Structure 1
Amino acid sequence: MTPAFDEGQLATGDGHRLWYAQYGNPHGLPLFWLHGGPGSGASLRHADLVDLARFRLVLADQRGCVRSQPAGGLENNHTGLLVDDIERLRRHLGMERMLLGGGSWGATLALAYAARHGDMLHGLVLRAPFLATPAELGGFFDTPQCWQAFAAIAPASALAPGRLLPWLAGQLASSDAQTCSRIAGAWRGHEQALEGRPNEAAEPPDEALVQRYRIQAHYLHHGCFLDPDALVEALGSLPAMPVAILHGDADRVCPPANARRLQQRLPGSRLLIVAGAGHDPFHPAMAAALRQALDGFAAHGSFDGWGACHG
């Protein structure tokens, strides 16, 4: 992979330091790509999906994630502050305007930023958008499959609708290292099964995985600190901009209905339902679709001719 031409840590002023890195052409079109999770951290593999001769790609770890400090920190960590951090990084890096993209939770965060700072954007790229609705959260935690994944760890009282997520958040925030490691391993196994990925349970959970799920449980337990309906409603007031939405038709984590709902609220947006792709951003068909969208934008400043348009 091409090395970063710039890398650093930016202090937020309230106890956090944000890791960021820039790749590609320093004079290219700024593209800020937001990672999912919450809690996962930026994957450097995203640089492989971008024409680095045309783009100035910015990756960053959100508060408490991976290379940002303090790792796993929950204090001063909520969605409003993550939006502030995107704007803080945009100004720090001297980007007048930028193309903003993200997958899953990263798409949610991109929408939250656009609702507050839409004038700073050339456009949006949203892969497999997650809206943090009760139905989405219930589809992950309030199922017999999920309860079975945690049955050897959680008390029977937690294995019921609406009870497991608060228990997990409390345990990951305060329990001993061994308990947190067991929870992280079970969470990873459930996530892999839901996404149809190979079981990696033989790999022992490390502290980084515990921190990831500590952040994720903190956000999900609080409904990601946003009102999904209010967020979608706010999109009607965005300044006109090109928007590309991609979603796999086999996604079992974020329902494709999210993408269609967003397209209805974003006049002129273009939607591509990617056949055979699930939630994995690096599925060959999904990766190819994202490359095509970005290449088209780099060439024409729009997503015209890509996907299906909503008038």
Structure 2
Amino acid sequence: MTPAFDEGQLATGDGHRLWYAQYGNPQGLPLFWLHGGPGSGTSPRHAAVVDLACYRLVLADQRGCGRSQPAGALEDNHTDLLVDDIERLRRHLGVERMLLGGGSWGATLALAYAARHGDSLRGLVLRAPFLATPAEIGAFFDTPQCWQQFAPVAPVSALASGRLLPWLAGQLASADAHACRRIAGAWRRHEQALEGITGDLTAPPEESLVQRYRIQAHYLRYGCFLNPDVLLDALGALPAMPVAILHGEADRVCPPANAQRLQRCLPDSRLHRVAGAGHDPFHPAMAAALRQALDGFAAQGSFDGWGARHG
């Protein structure tokens, strides 16, 4: 991968320091890409689908994630502050208007930013949007398959419907390092089962997994600090801008119906349902569709001719 041309830590003023890096063409079209999770951190693989001759790609680890400090911190860590951080980074880098994208939770966060700072955007790219509804969160945890993964690490009382997520959040926020590592391993196996991934050839270090799922449990426990209906209603007041939505037809983590619901709120958006792809952002078909969307935007400043229009 091409190395970053700029890398740093940005202080937020409340004890957090955000890692960021810029790749590609310093004079290119600014593209901020938001990682998923919540809690996952950035991956250099995100740059593989971007034409770095055309784009100035900005990646950043959200509060407590990846290389940001303090790692795994829950204090002063919620969605409104993450939106503030995106705006803080935009100003710090001297970017006037940007294309903003993200997958899953990253798409959620991009929408939350757009609702408050739409005038700073050239457009949105939203892969596998997660809408943070109680039904979505419940479907991730309240299943026999989920309980099977967590049964070796959780008491029977926690496996009852509606009780597992609060128990996991409490345990991951504790100081019991051994218990946290076991829970993080079970959570990763549950995610992989949903995504149809077998094996674990590139497992992150145990402590990184604990930090990831500590933050994810914290956000999911509180509905990601969002009201999904209020967020979707706010999209109707966005300034006109190009929007691309991509969703894998076989996604078992974020339901494909999310993309349709979102497109109804953004009538000028274009939607591409990616055949054969699930939730994996690096599935070949998904990566190809995303590259096509970004190449089209770089060429013409819109997603015209890509995907399907609403209605």
Q: TM-score with structure 1 length normalisation?
A: 0.98
- Say if 1:203 and 1:248 are closer, same or farther in 2 by CA, change over 3 A: closer
- State the AA in 2 paired with 1:59: L
The answer on whether the counterparts of 1:235 and 1:266 sit within 8 Å (CA) in structure 2 is yes
Structure 2 equivalent of residue 196 of structure 1: 196
Task: Say how many residue pairs are matched.
Answer: 311
Q: CA deviation at 1:199?
A: 3.0
- Say if 1:143 and 1:309 are closer, same or farther in 2 by CA, change over 3 A: same
Q: CA deviation at 1:260?
A: 0.3
Structure 1 equivalent of residue 131 of structure 2: 131
Structure 2 equivalent of residue 210 of structure 1: 210
1:75-117, Cα deviation, whole Å (9 max, x unpaired):
0000000000000000000000000000000000000000000
The answer on whether the counterparts of 1:249 and 1:277 sit within 8 Å (CA) in structure 2 is yes
Aligned-partner SS, 1:7: strand
Aligned-partner SS, 2:94: coil
The answer on whether the counterparts of 1:185 and 1:205 sit within 8 Å (CA) in structure 2 is no
1:107-136, Cα deviation, whole Å (9 max, x unpaired):
000000000000000000000000111111
Aligned-partner SS, 1:113: helix
Question: In percent, how many aligned pairs have the same letter?
Answer: 84
Structure 2 equivalent of residue 178 of structure 1: 178
- Say if 1:202 and 1:279 are closer, same or farther in 2 by CA, change over 3 A: closer
Distance in 2 separating the partners of 1:132 and 1:64: 20
- Say if 1:201 and 1:180 are closer, same or farther in 2 by CA, change over 3 A: farther
- State the AA in 2 paired with 1:20: Y
Distance in 1 separating the partners of 2:232 and 2:188: 30
Structure 2 equivalent of residue 226 of structure 1: 226
Distance in 1 separating the partners of 2:289 and 2:56: 20
Q: CA deviation at 1:160?
A: 1.3
Structure 2 equivalent of residue 263 of structure 1: 263
Structure 2 equivalent of residue 245 of structure 1: 245
Distance in 2 separating the partners of 1:168 and 1:118: 36
The answer on whether the counterparts of 1:268 and 1:310 sit within 8 Å (CA) in structure 2 is yes
Structure 2 equivalent of residue 65 of structure 1: 65
Structure 1 equivalent of residue 286 of structure 2: 286
Distance in 1 separating the partners of 2:183 and 2:118: 39
Aligned-partner SS, 2:173: helix
Structure 1 equivalent of residue 164 of structure 2: 164
- State the AA in 2 paired with 1:129: P
The answer on whether the counterparts of 1:189 and 1:201 sit within 8 Å (CA) in structure 2 is no
Distance in 1 separating the partners of 2:155 and 2:257: 34
Q: CA deviation at 1:204?
A: 8.6
Structure 2 equivalent of residue 75 of structure 1: 75
Structure 1 equivalent of residue 14 of structure 2: 14
Distance in 2 separating the partners of 1:284 and 1:201: 18
Distance in 1 separating the partners of 2:183 and 2:215: 13
- C-alpha RMSD of matched pairs (Å): 1.2
1:118 aligned onto 2:118:
yes
Distance in 2 separating the partners of 1:202 and 1:162: 31
Aligned-partner SS, 2:23: strand
1:308 aligned onto 2:308:
yes
- State the AA in 1 paired with 2:76: N
Where does the alignment leave 5 or more consecutive residues of structure 1 unmatched?
Answer: none
Distance in 1 separating the partners of 2:289 and 2:203: 32
Structure 1 equivalent of residue 48 of structure 2: 48
Distance in 1 separating the partners of 2:279 and 2:201: 20
Q: 1:101-112 to 2 correspondence within 5 Å?
A: 101-112=101-112
